[in-house]
Structure 1
Amino acid sequence: MSCENWGFCDLSISKDYDLSKLDLLEKCGFHTVAINTHVQEPGDEPKKKKKKGDSKENKDLIPPPVEVTTDTKLNILHRVTIEFSDSSITPQLNQSQNLKKYDIVAVVPKTLQAFQYACGTMDIDIITFDPVSRIPFKISRKLYRQAVERGIFFELMYSPAIKDSTSRKNIISTAHTYHAIGRSKNIIVTSGAENAMQVRDVHDVINLGFILGLNSNQSLEVIRNNSRRLILKAKGRRCGKLYVTITVDKEDNKIIEQ
């Protein structure tokens, strides 16, 4: 994450995307992408009796990030998105060694209790929802404001809207909810693309902002300024509070502050 120019960002590209085609995102005007690993909520599986000689180590809930070997000029980040219904998931997250390997942590709260916990307590960067179905609870101004004050961002993904009319309606509905209760503060727009056909040009994404209830300035912020703030916030979460990033320009031997 040692790059001074994050530029336009798409902070959700599925790990199932053909990573050899990341150059398409460069051609679409993006400078930074996050490869997303989605973790479904763990089921209530019956406990099996341990056999003699079995390892006592618990299986890590979070898989390791995918390796990106493609030669690209893009800044590559790793993101994990975790579904959960209540705070009982906390011990598993605290014990996960793989979780520490990700640059960005997002959650999908599936209940009001989970949403309250995400907004007020969890050490995360993004709250997002599955656009296939409507949000199953009411989002209050108080909780939205609490999340914003803690530096958490809310995500809107546009690729599901390309695939399905129901998802399209749900995404637009969610976007207008964010506008009504929080004036669309701390919003990021990502593709959530699983293949190259679902990626859109930077300017198309900016224009999409008007449908999502964003004004011209906000439409630019959701894929550039807000994304940059999120990346720096995530780095602060991992390394401690971050106020200034100092890098050295090797060619001019100058110190650059951010």
Structure 2
Amino acid sequence: MSCKNWGFCDLSVSRNYDLKYLDLFEKFGFNTIALNSHVEESSDEPKKKKKKGEMKEKKDYIPAPVDIPKEIVASTNLNILQRVTIELSDASSSYKLTNSENLKKYDIIAVVPKTLQAFQFVCNTMDFDIITFEPETRLPYKISRKLYRLAIERGMFFELMYAPAIKDSTSRKNIISTAHTYHAIGKSKNIILTSSAENNLQVRDVHDVINLGFILGLNNNYCLEVIRNNSRKLILKAEGRQRGKFYLNVENEINE
């Protein structure tokens, strides 16, 4: 990542999205998108006994980022980032993350804390960028003001998504409920609004997204900040996580 004009951002587009329709985001007013790879929690398989002299196979349960064809990159002005979203139930899975080489290839790391223990661990210990929840179900536990505030202080953001709310009434109720929870316990601080779009029919214009924010308890001015300023802050925070703490990033610009 580098110092660019990030503009309006959609930081969650499914890796299954047909890349030939990426230009739709540009037409709809977006400057930056993130292709999202969702990783379900891995189950520990029973260890097989190695034969003598057999090399131990090293597996990485985090998949490699989406391979974007060069012609797609050349045909768009979009900033295209890579994001991974990881399900987590307890702290014991964290060692797999620290040993993952593929994880280092992603620009943005998000987590789905499946239990209160995992949520506490994420807020207190792990250096992630986004905390998110599955829209198909209600929040699985009560989020306290203390943990919400701690996550914000550590530079993490909470995600709301609109595509699941459009296609399914249960998801819509759950997302609205989650949004109101964030407002009640944290005044909707450090919120980002993404599409989580799986296809081009689920993508909406920037101005439509701003209007959708009203349903989620965000006024127009703050929704504008959510999809532009907050997203930019998140990107810079993620860049700081990758490079280590820094105050200034200087680049040479050659004018032809």
Q: Paired residue for 1:193?
A: 197
Q: Paired residue for 1:14?
A: 14
**Alpha-carbon deviation of 1:157?**
0.8
Q: Paired residue for 1:131?
A: 135
Q: Paired residue for 2:224?
A: 220
Tell me if the contact between 1:84 and 1:109 (Cα under 8 Å) persists in the aligned partners: yes
Q: Paired residue for 1:38?
A: 38
When normalised by structure 1's length, the TM-score is 0.94
When normalised by structure 2's length, the TM-score is 0.95
RMSD over aligned CA atoms reads: 1.2
Tell me if the contact between 2:3 and 2:249 (Cα under 8 Å) persists in the aligned partners: no
Q: Paired residue for 2:181?
A: 177
Deviations 1:114-139 (A, max 9, x none): 00011111010000000000111000
Tell me the percent identity: 71
CA distance in 1, matches of 2:53, 2:180: 56
Tell me if the contact between 2:8 and 2:30 (Cα under 8 Å) persists in the aligned partners: yes
Deviations 1:154-191 (A, max 9, x none): 00011111111000000000000000000000000000
**Alpha-carbon deviation of 1:247?**
3.0
Query: What SS does structure 1 have at the residue aligned with 2:152?
Result: helix
Q: Paired residue for 1:96?
A: 100
Q: Paired residue for 1:108?
A: 112
CA distance in 1, matches of 2:59, 2:236: 31
Matches within 5 A, 1:12-91: 12-69=12-69, 70=72, 71-91=75-95
Q: Paired residue for 2:156?
A: 152
Query: What SS does structure 2 have at the residue aligned with 1:78?
Result: strand
**Alpha-carbon deviation of 1:45?**
2.3
Tell me if the contact between 1:4 and 1:247 (Cα under 8 Å) persists in the aligned partners: no
- Of stretches 235-244 and 140-149 in structure 1, the one that deviates more from structure 2 is 235-244
CA distance in 1, matches of 2:246, 2:68: 27
Q: Paired residue for 1:166?
A: 170
Tell me if the contact between 1:141 and 1:182 (Cα under 8 Å) persists in the aligned partners: yes
CA distance in 1, matches of 2:66, 2:4: 24
**Alpha-carbon deviation of 1:242?**
3.1
Query: What SS does structure 2 have at the residue aligned with 1:20?
Result: helix
CA distance in 1, matches of 2:249, 2:230: 17
Tell me if the contact between 2:62 and 2:100 (Cα under 8 Å) persists in the aligned partners: yes
Question: Where does the alignment leave 5 or more consecutive residues of structure 1 unmatched?
Answer: 253-258
Query: What SS does structure 1 have at the residue aligned with 2:35?
Result: strand
CA distance in 2, matches of 1:7, 1:139: 31
Paired residue type of 2:7: G
**Alpha-carbon deviation of 1:218?**
1.3
Aligned length: 252
Q: Paired residue for 1:255?
A: none
**Alpha-carbon deviation of 1:52?**
4.1
Query: What SS does structure 2 have at the residue aligned with 1:222?
Result: helix
Instruction: Find out whether 1:207 has 2:211 as its counterpart.
Output: yes
Change (3 A) 1:149 1:52: same
Instruction: Find out whether 1:2 has 2:9 as its counterpart.
Output: no
CA distance in 2, matches of 1:50, 1:72: 49
CA distance in 1, matches of 2:43, 2:172: 29
Question: Where does the alignment leave 5 or more consecutive residues of structure 2 unmatched?
Answer: none
Tell me if the contact between 1:232 and 1:242 (Cα under 8 Å) persists in the aligned partners: no
Tell me if the contact between 1:235 and 1:242 (Cα under 8 Å) persists in the aligned partners: no
